[in-house]
């Protein structure tokens, strides 16, 4: 093995090890959040709680920047499109919290302090509205349908 190959492979191992450590940390934080979670039926989730696949508007206290993110499972992550993984530090931080809550979480660049301003979309809340709307529309008489 050449010295150059050896050095490159050692650097590769270091890089990969850092990724493994970061993943383990994310898993531990999510496991901790799951341990403290209260489990409820979908119909019992308050409308202002961030759940999986919810879109939430967040404000960063330091920069006062406001961003909206949809909290998704890791395989659906696309940060460029605002799709934030539940394994990302901020994703884990907001899961299960409500509008008005402040969350403080360690991120790679330090500590993040955010406020949940709004739950723009929550599947449990909004799907119930969609189902009710479809049911009312289906039951409503329309002159185009005849009858």
Percent of the chain with pLDDT over 70: 86
Geometric angle at alpha carbon 56, from 128 and 64, rounded to 5°: 155
* 34's tokens: 């799951």
| Average pLDDT for 32-41 | 86
> What is the tens place of the pLDDT at every residue in 81-107?
999 999 888 999 999 999 999 998 877
What domains lie within the chain, and their CATH numbers? Answer: 37-124 (3.10.50.30)
Stretch among 19-23, 98-102, 116-120 having the lowest mean pLDDT: 19-23
66-72 and 55-60 beta bridge pairing = antiparallel
Average pLDDT over residues 30-53: 89
| Per-residue pLDDT, 83 | 97
Does residue 25 have a pLDDT over 50?
Answer: yes
């Amino acid at each position: 093995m050449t010295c150059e190959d050896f050095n490159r492979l050692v650097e590769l191992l270091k890089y990969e090890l850092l990724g493994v450590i970061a993943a383990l940390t994310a898993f531990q934080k999510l496991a901790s959040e799951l341990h403290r979670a209260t489990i409820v039926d979908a119909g019992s989730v308050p409308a202002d709680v961030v759940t999986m696949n919810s879109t939430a508007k967040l404000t960063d206290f330091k920069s006062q920047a406001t961003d909206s993110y949809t909290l998704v499972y890791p395989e659906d992550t696309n940060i460029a499109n605002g799709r934030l993984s539940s394994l990302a530090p901020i994703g884990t931080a907001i899961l299960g919290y409500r509008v008005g809550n402040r969350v403080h979480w360690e991120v790679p660049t330090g500590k993040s302090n955010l406020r949940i301003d709004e739950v723009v979309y929550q599947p449990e809340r909004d799907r119930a509205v969609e189902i009710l709307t479809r049911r009312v529309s289906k039951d409503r008489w329309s002159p185009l349908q005849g009858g």
